Amino acid sequence: MKRIAILASGSGTNAEKIIQYFNSSKIASVVTVGTNKEDAGVIERAKRLGVPHFTFNKKELENGSVKALLMINRVDLIVLAGFLLKIPDNLVQGFPRGIVNIHPALLPKFGGKGMYGINVHKAVKESGEKQSGITIHWVNEHYDDGEHIFQDRVDLSPGDTPEQIAAKVQELEHKHYPKVIENLLK
């Protein structure tokens, strides 16, 4: 059985979908959820779903404490689900091709530092794009730069607000992220 750790910074809707998806899996299970925010909604979701969780700060992420904890938990795959801190080199090197992220746009467009959450959807709206979507990719030492694993797109209407774009994109996230993770672990 493969062991998944989820790192999240926010409300945890993707984390919840992933945990629920793997609850009945014979392939993998989510063994822990980590967050860098003590008030993140993902903590309550993890508690409700019976998944152990931990919090950490940026220094602990960078100094190898988080890496050590994940290694002690024998994690096979780290899944970023709305995690906003840059993954440090020590973690990338400790889990080569073992960290996956989902970005709420069609990379390479609308990626990089500061491009997360509603910022992405505002940029998509302002650019006049006719489509947006998701990109699931391997994590490397740079923001949103790792090899693409999967993309899917959704059509946009000229009148869509950034919030409406976000809702359309989130539907794709919930639909595809757990399945792509499962395929990576097979």
Question: How far apart (Å, rounded) are the C-alpha atoms in residues 140 and 122?
Answer: 26
The amino acid occupying position 4 is: I
The amino acid occupying position 158 is: P
CA 43 vs CA 7, 117, 126: distances in Å: 11, 19, 34
Sign of the C-alpha dihedral, residues 105, 109, 113, 115?
A: negative
Residue 103 known to be catalytic: yes
Sign of the C-alpha dihedral, residues 57, 63, 67, 69?
A: negative
Question: How far apart (Å, rounded) are the C-alpha atoms in residues 16 and 177?
Answer: 11
**151: β partners:** 135
Residue in 53, 103, 121, 137 annotated catalytic: 103
- Which candidate, 72, 67, 59, places its Cα nearest to that of 91? 67
- Start-to-end CA span in the chain (Å): 10
**Which residues are catalytic, by number?**
103
